Structure 1
Amino acid sequence: MTAPTINGTRYPQPIKDLLPAARDLDLPDGEDFPSRNRLMREFRIGAPKAGELLALLKAEATAPPADTAKATTPDPATAPAEPEPAAPVAPDPTPTPEITPPEQVEQVAEVGRPDTPAPTAQARRAVAWPVVLLALPAFVAIWSGWVGLGGLTGFGIVHPLPGIWDSFSINSAITLPIGVETYGAYALYVWLSGRVPAPALRFAKWSALGSLAVGALGQVAYHLLVAAGIASAPWWITTAVACLPVAVLGMGAALAHLVRTHD
């Protein structure tokens, strides 16, 4: 089911704009409010925003109804006689001191209290460019480790276009760092974003942790084999490494389907 558009757009809207659409949702029998997961699916918002929207719906339901009683018009027959106007009084030459409203007095008192915290400026977003500096050395080490392990497990130079472009060749070992590490970073982003359905969130979490663990084990295996002077990896390491491209393809396709599913 396609998420409803609010104000002509499919992007997440402020709570005040989503509240009318949330009131109009069709609810199953026996339910007074939509669930948080349904609000996340319907409006494509994260869990914190959906919880806030659900709290507003519940607060509206428990709020006391406004007093709509109309004032009755008094009967002219029973209305008390209007008093005769009093004689005009001469104005008092003494100036009347200005009376400060109670609301203003309370506000001044609150600001003047020593324990009142001063208003803080809006926090700025943290910059993300230092991540590039952190990723450069990690990229060099991870790339060389996976390519080296691929060479020990049978990966190497191949000609993917025989008969079409015979001179074109590529080292198949590069598929290991590109596939495993790229999927791990993407799944980690999906998990931490919190803007996907609950099944996709769970799958992204565990597959991201698994990809990072597999990447660490691959680096450990390569350095141990090189340190021991082994020119060819054992069969069980070769089997595991050979299955990685297929596993990455399956997990990537599954995560892409779960992210776009809102049933």
Structure 2
Amino acid sequence: MLLHHARSLLFLPASNARAIEKARGLPCDMVMLDLEDAVPDDRKQEARDQAIDALRQGFGERLTAVRINVAGTLWHGAEMVAVKGSAADYVILPKVETVRQVADVFSVCQRPVIAMIESPAGVLGASAIGAAEGTAALFMGTNDLRKDLHIPAGAGRDGLSLALQQVVLAVRAARIAVFDGVYNRLDDDAGFEAECAHGHMLGFDGKTLIHPAQIAIANRLFGPDAHAVADARRLVDAATGGAERFEGRMIEAMHVDEARALIARAEAQAG
């Protein structure tokens, strides 16, 4: 699967062997083994070793990534070296604010970098970060961003809207993938579904997740709607070139390209 086709990207603590084994049977599009926030300091080395072993065993057709700790921490260097020798598809770097951070990790890990945008400085630098050599995608780190923006706990997403849209805009200019932040309330399916719908409307490719129970909703909300796919197939079949009428609306080459992209995404996710 191509990264920009991913709908559900599941974070797992690399220190939790049971969760890692369970992930091999989950319908998520990407498994992300976390060495950062989800792992206590006294288990960082154990988590790193466990992540590399898990990647060696593989996760089937799922994309894989490792989230490492930032530069300046005790574990950063060893984690980069471990990822370089691993079977990971991507390396996830938290708290990115500069192109230099991406360049340093890319040069050592030799893996495409997914940069997490978690601060006002990261949002303002998103255009340069997204366009940097080695950057494969941007993740929104909405929890830290809320804190830095002084958005009250329990507030909705209105205060984040400008930042979210600015990052999506930067990514589309760079022609890479972009994924919405995690949703923390595990017992609130309605709220999670609403946030997925909002992220989809803003243009995010998929959703980062913190629990397997969130996968089905993310796959449904970020996957192509069956009616839209059927419409796209009819449009492609009907198009003859140039501007023309199709089922009560005007279409041209741009709409045919969009329809083909939608069909390709649907077929990739169905596989």
Larger-Rg structure: 1
Q: Which range, TM-score by smaller chain?
A: under 0.3
Q: TM-score, normalised by structure 2?
A: 0.20
Q: TM-score, normalised by structure 1?
A: 0.20
Greater relative contact order (Cα < 8 A, sep 6+): 1
More strand by share: 2
